[in-house]
Amino acid sequence: MAKKIFVGFVALVLFAFVLLFQFGGRAAEELTKKLLAEQTALQGTLKAEEIQANWSGDVVFKNIVWVGPDGKTIAEVPLSTVSVNLFDALLKGGTGASVGDVVVDKPSFFVAYGKKDGLNLTNYINFQLDEAQSEDLLSVKKASSSTQFRGLMEIKDAKVNLLLEGKPLDFDKVQFQANFKQYPKIKYGLRVKDGKSDIIADIQTDQQSTAVVAEVKKLPLQNIMSVLPQAADVVISEGTLPDVKIRADKTAGKWTLNIDGTISNLKGSLINYPVTKGSGKFAADTTALKLADLNLEVAGQTVIIDGNIYYADKPDAKQTYGLTVSAPNFVIEALSPGLGLKEAVTALGKVKGTIDKPEAEGTFGLDKLAYDPLYITALSGKFLYKNGKLNVGDAIGNVYAGQVSINGQIDTKTRDFNLEIQGIDLDSSVVTETQVEGPLSFKMLALGTADVGSATGAGSFRIEEGKYMMLPFRSIKGSITRQQGKFAFSNIKIATAVGSFDTNIIVKDNGKLGFDLDKGFLAARLDEK
How confident is the model over 306-365, as pLDDT tens digits?
Answer: 999 998 877 778 999 999 999 999 999 999 999 999 999 999 999 999 999 999 999 999
pLDDT average, residue stretch 205-214: 84
pLDDT band, very low/low/confident/very high, at 300 (cuts 50, 70, 90): very high
CA distances 264 to 238, 240, 243, 280, 295, Å, are 9, 5, 10, 7, 10
> 468 or 466, which is more confident?
466
pLDDT band, very low/low/confident/very high, at 85 (cuts 50, 70, 90): low
Q: Is 38 helix (H, G, I), strand (E, B) or coil?
A: helix
- The answer to whether the beta carbons of residues 525 and 471 sit under 8 Å apart is yes
pLDDT band, very low/low/confident/very high, at 55 (cuts 50, 70, 90): low
At 21, give phi and psi (nearest 5°): -60, -50
pLDDT average, residue stretch 59-86: 84
Q: Residue type at 306?
A: D
Q: Is the dihedral of CA 365, 366, 368, 370 positive or negative?
A: negative
- Picking from 520, 512, 495, 493, the residue whose alpha carbon sits closest to that of residue 504 is 493
Poorest-pLDDT segment among 198-202, 280-284, 340-344: 198-202
pLDDT band, very low/low/confident/very high, at 229 (cuts 50, 70, 90): confident
Q: Looking at the predicted structure, is the pLDDT value of residue 7 above 50? A: no
> 309 or 522, which is more confident?
309
CA distances 372 to 253, 340, 341, 396, 482, Å, are 68, 12, 11, 17, 10
pLDDT band, very low/low/confident/very high, at 274 (cuts 50, 70, 90): very high
Q: Where are the beta strands (DSSP E) in 271-318?
A: 273-284, 288-298, 301-310
Averaged pLDDT of the chain: 81
- Picking from 500, 513, 483, the residue whose alpha carbon sits closest to that of residue 491 is 500
Strand partners, 154: 103, 177
Task: Give the pLDDT confidence score for residue 56 in this predicted structure.
Answer: 63
Which string of b and e fits 315-347 if b means at least 16 CB within 10 Å? Answer: eeebbbbebebebeebbbebbbbbbbbebbbeb
Which string of b and e fits 371-385 if b means at least 16 CB within 10 Å? Answer: bebbebeebebebeb
Poorest-pLDDT segment among 315-324, 435-444, 514-523: 514-523
Q: Looking at the predicted structure, is the pLDDT value of residue 72 above 70? A: yes
Question: Which of the residue ranges 94-108, 252-266, 353-367, 477-491 has the most confident prediction, judged by mean pLDDT?
Answer: 353-367
Q: Looking at the predicted structure, is the pLDDT value of residue 111 above 50? A: yes
Strand partners, 93: none
Domain ranges across the chain: 22-184, 390-528
- CB atoms closer than 10 angstroms to residue 166: 9
- Picking from 491, 422, 482, 486, the residue whose alpha carbon sits closest to that of residue 447 is 482
d(CA 121, CA 111): 6
pLDDT average, residue stretch 94-106: 72
Paired sense of beta strands 357-371 and 402-411, if any: unpaired
Q: Looking at the predicted structure, is the pLDDT value of residue 399 above 70? A: yes
> 238 or 89, which is more confident?
238
Q: Looking at the predicted structure, is the pLDDT value of residue 91 above 90? A: no
Q: Is the dihedral of CA 324, 328, 334, 335 positive or negative?
A: positive
- In the chain the first and final C-alpha atoms are separated, in Å, by 164
pLDDT band, very low/low/confident/very high, at 126 (cuts 50, 70, 90): low
Helix ranges (DSSP H) in 243-291: none
pTM for the structure as a whole: 0.77
d(CA 528, CA 58): 124
Residues 12-46: tens digit of each pLDDT: 333 333 333 333 444 555 555 655 555 556 778 87
- The answer to whether the beta carbons of residues 399 and 375 sit under 8 Å apart is yes
Task: Give the pLDDT confidence score for residue 29 in this predicted structure.
Answer: 55
pLDDT band, very low/low/confident/very high, at 149 (cuts 50, 70, 90): low
Question: Which of the residue ranges 155-159, 192-196, 319-323, 472-476 has the most confident prediction, judged by mean pLDDT?
Answer: 319-323
Poorest-pLDDT segment among 167-171, 357-361, 421-425: 167-171
> 89 or 292, which is more confident?
292
Task: Give the pLDDT confidence score for residue 186 in this predicted structure.
Answer: 80
